[in-house]
Amino acid sequence: MKRAVNLELGIALVGLAGYLVLFFASPLPSLRHDDGSSWRRAEFFQFLLVPEVLVAQWFGDGAALGIADRLPVILGASGLLGVSAAAGWIVLRLLRAHCGLTRLETLVFAVAVGLNLLSTYLLAVGLLGLAPCASGLAAAGARAGLFQLDRMAAMA
C-alpha cells in the first residue's frame, strides 16, 4: 500500500515538473526582445540571479541612475499613504478601536482602514460617474487629514 502511494506521489511530481518546464518555456507573444523574438517566462528568473540587469533597465545605463525620475512616484505614494493613515486614524479614534493597541498596531490598522476608505471612495466615485469633480473632494479630504495630523502633533 505504501509503495502505491509513493508511486502516485512520484507520478504527480514528475507531471508537475513537466508542466512547469512547459509553462516556463512557452513564449509570451505580447513581450518582444529588441531583435523581435518573444520573451519566455523563464527569462524573468534572470532578474533574481542578476538584479543589476533589472536596475540598469529600470533606471538607465551607467552610474547616472535616474532616481530623480522616480521621485514624483515616491512622493505621490508617500502622500497617499500619509492621507490614508490620517483618515484611518480618525476612524479608529471615532470607533475607539485604538484602545489597547500598541503604536505600531495602531499605525498598521490606520493605514489599512484608510486605504480601504480610499478604495471604497474611488469605487463610489467611479460607479456614480463623478470622476471630474472627484479631485476637489479628494483635496478637501486631504486637507481634513492634514488638519487632523496637525492637531495630533499639537496634542502630543
Could you give the angle at which helices 67-95 and 131-155 cross, rounded to 10 degrees? Answer: 70
pLDDT value at position 126? Answer: 79
- Give CA–CA dist 147/153, Å, rounded: 10
pTM greater than 0.85: no
For residue 138, count other CB atoms closer than 10 A to its CB: 15
To the nearest 5 percent, what fractions of the chain are helix, strand and coil? 80, 5, 15
pLDDT value at position 100? Answer: 87
Divide the 156 residues of the chain into consecutive groups of 10 and give the mean pLDDT of each group.
79 93 85 78 78 72 61 86 90 86 91 92 81 65 67 65
Show the cell assigned to 58: 529600470
DSSP state at residue 99: T
Which residues are CB-contacts of 66 (< 8 A; sequence separation ≥ 6)?
A: 59, 60
DSSP 6-61: HHHHHHHHHHHHHHHHHHHHSEEEEEE-TTSPEEEGGGGGHHHH-HHHHHHHHH-S
